[in-house]
A = this chain, B = another copy of it.
Amino acid sequence: MSSESTAEIMAATGRALCEHGYADLTMQRIADESSVTSAAIHYHFDTKEELLNAFLDDLLDRFESRLACEARDPRDRLTDFLDAVFEESSSDHDDFPVALMELKAQAPYHDLFRERFVELDEVVCDVVGTAVRDGIEDGHFDDADPDEVARLVATMINGAHVRSVALGERTDRTRETIEGTLALHLGWTPGSEVAA
């Protein structure tokens, strides 16, 4: 399958998931959202689980490449990371956070989904933990446990996701709370000017 077709199937999967929800998602409904036939989708993905696993993998790849950047000031890295997380969640289809929440609720029944979510969490903790560690070494941040700060941020991001879906709260509100607590842990406020 060409990478264009794969990209098209992934995009169609996202739209169909938002529109019909996990329980009512079918290969046919995904095909209906794209120019690829359901037979072609079936040819590459035996089951809905495999297809959704590829979908989560694709999401993870895009998130990682968005974060990949040359070694720079760790303060900029943390700010960029928060931008990537919080812009991502507001720019997608309105229903996307709901669809993703449904997949998280399915994780106990699908090892492949759980593996993808664990992987995503590791990426988040690694990016934040490394930036915090580097920032402490460079003398930009107060002394703190980088892994605990990373876990705090990762958990707050998980919380922001639930709050947007269950309470209808804007995720920006949680970003402010994360920034406030990072200021206390690191003695530095995300987004504040970094002298070149």
Given contacts A105-B105, A184-B185, contact A155 B159 (CB under 8 A): yes
Task: Decide if B155 touches A108 in the complex (CB within 8 Å).
Answer: no
What 1/0 flags go to A18-29 for Cβ under 8 Å of B? 000001000000
* Those of A83-98 within 8 Å (CB) of chain B: 95, 98
A60 at the interface (CB under 8 A from B): no
Among B105, B156, B157, B180, which residue has its beta carbon within 8 angstroms of that of A101?
B105
A167 and B23 contact, CB distance less than 8 A: no
Contact with B along A139-182 (1 / 0, CB 8 A): 00000000010011011111111110111100001100100110
Interfacial chain B residues near A157, Cβ < 8 Å: 159
List the B residue with the shortest CB-CB distance to A157. B159
Select which of B95, B107, B152, B177 is within 8 A of A166 by beta carbon. B107
Report 15 cross-chain contacts, Cβ distance below 8 Å, ordered by A residue: A98-B105, A102-B105, A104-B165, A105-B166, A107-B167, A118-B167, A155-B174, A157-B159, A158-B158, A158-B159, A158-B162, A158-B163, A159-B159, A161-B162, A181-B185
